[in-house]
Amino acid sequence: MAYRAVSYSISPFIYIQLQWRRFRGLEHPTRWRERLGHPSINRPPGPLLWFHAVSLGEGLAAIPVIRRCIQQKPNLTILMTTTTTSAFEVIKDRLPNDVLYQYAPLDTPSAMDDFLEYWNPVAVMLMESELWPNLVFGATKKGITMALLNARMSSKSFHRWSRPIVFPLISSMLSKFSLIAPLSNVEAIRYQLLQAPPFIINFAGDLKYAVDNVDISMQDNTCLEDLQQLRLDNRPVWMASSIHKGEDEVVLEVHRALMQVYPNVITIIVPRHPQLGQQMALALQKDGFNVVLRSCNEKILPSTNFYIVDTLGELRSLYRIIPVAVIGGSFLPGLAGHNVSEAAAAGCAVLTGCYVGHFSRMILEMQQINPLSVMQTDLLRNLVELFSNADALETHRMAAKQAFHALSNGVVSNVWNLINIHVIEKALPPEIK
């Protein structure tokens, strides 16, 4: 196969890139060999199901399904893999104790072959858009049943896959799946146009609405207790979460304007990548603001203007404390938004920008249930209204929570039923089903 031959030829360069990422701290310092398909733990005997997600959001969406799988099929071993270090650091504390957790192998022939040979799963559940040829064809060669959950196919990806040079590759890959559970009817149509067999496409809902089913970890509880002790002294407070580089300037502009009305306002910034926290703090300090970094265990003082949470895994706890959440990744062209359902599940008043990518469907669904559930226009005006009107704040918080619960109801059960019918029944021997 052409892709396999090409990936063989560029494998040395991929290895060099892996080492470069390791040098920059983007790969785990001691577990990076797992990316080459080398396991760091022993495989237990018996049938094994493999769940794979690329990063944090997709990984969290998989956890409720993993929990349901353990409840329904306790005799199966579950292996979870993710790609990014940020996902690893958060998810390792939220997975059930018996779940095996590894970094995902690179999609090179040798890494994927070694991984599949060692773990030998009976089935693999890929999250969202993890369509890698060596994975798909390697699993097919070994007779491994495959499912694509929360299957996403953006307009950009669809046009890329539709090009004549790669269309045969994607149509061949999609034909190997036993189940594709798309995010929406639009994605379902795109998968069919890429020649996925219609009978394997089944809609079950968006697993990112299932975030409320993930238990709060011990780390979350510690964070909750710690943050509740911070002295905000009834100051107006809002949180800008998952903020990308450049969006901190948007946050700063809004903060300056808010200070004209509320001089003691405090802004909490949660960078999308914690390593950006120090950079953001230095920039704000140069502008004359008093900035506190969470990683330094500093306390909020009456003079504090910005509190930067440059740590991992604490966002869900923050949503439970801060009543107003502005979801980043949505204020600059080229960004594609982030999951708003976590903030809605916690009962925050939810605001976001207009560059929300595939999350536009989620926001539209929530707004259709309750127009007040997500605010997207005039960030400053909306914040002033929420600060000045306690009834309006409570109304928006309840609207977000109501919309979330309406959309999250039954999603995990729907997905599990599809897995049971299309994957478990096909992949497992009769004595284990």
How far apart are the C-alpha atoms of 73 and 329, rounded to whole Å? 38
Q: What is the side-by-side strand order in the sheet with 100-103?
A: 100-103, 77-82, 48-52, 123-127, 145-151, 179-182
Residue 341's nearest CA partner among 69, 150, 201 is: 150
Phi and psi at residue 22, in whole multiples of 5°? -65, -45
Ramachandran class of 195: left when φ > 0, alpha when ψ lies in -120 to 50, beta otherwise: left
How far apart are the C-alpha atoms of 299 and 188, rounded to whole Å? 49
Q: Which residue type is seen at 320?
A: R
- The answer to whether 349 and 379 are in contact (CB under 8 A) is no
**Strand-strand pairing, 48-52 and 77-82:** parallel
Query: Is 34 in the active site?
Result: no
Rg over CA atoms, the chain: 23
H or E stretch covering 150: strand 145-151
Q: Residues near 71 by Cβ (< 8 Å), separated by ≥ 6?
A: none
How far apart are the C-alpha atoms of 375 and 98, rounded to whole Å? 40
3-state secondary structure of 43: coil
DSSP bridge pairs for 241: 270, 327
Ramachandran class of 37: left when φ > 0, alpha when ψ lies in -120 to 50, beta otherwise: left
How far apart are the C-alpha atoms of 82 and 35, rounded to whole Å? 10
Which residue among the candidates 27, 58, 130, 314 is catalytic per the annotation?
A: 58
How far apart are the C-alpha atoms of 376 and 176, rounded to whole Å? 40
Please identify every residue annotated as catalytic.
58
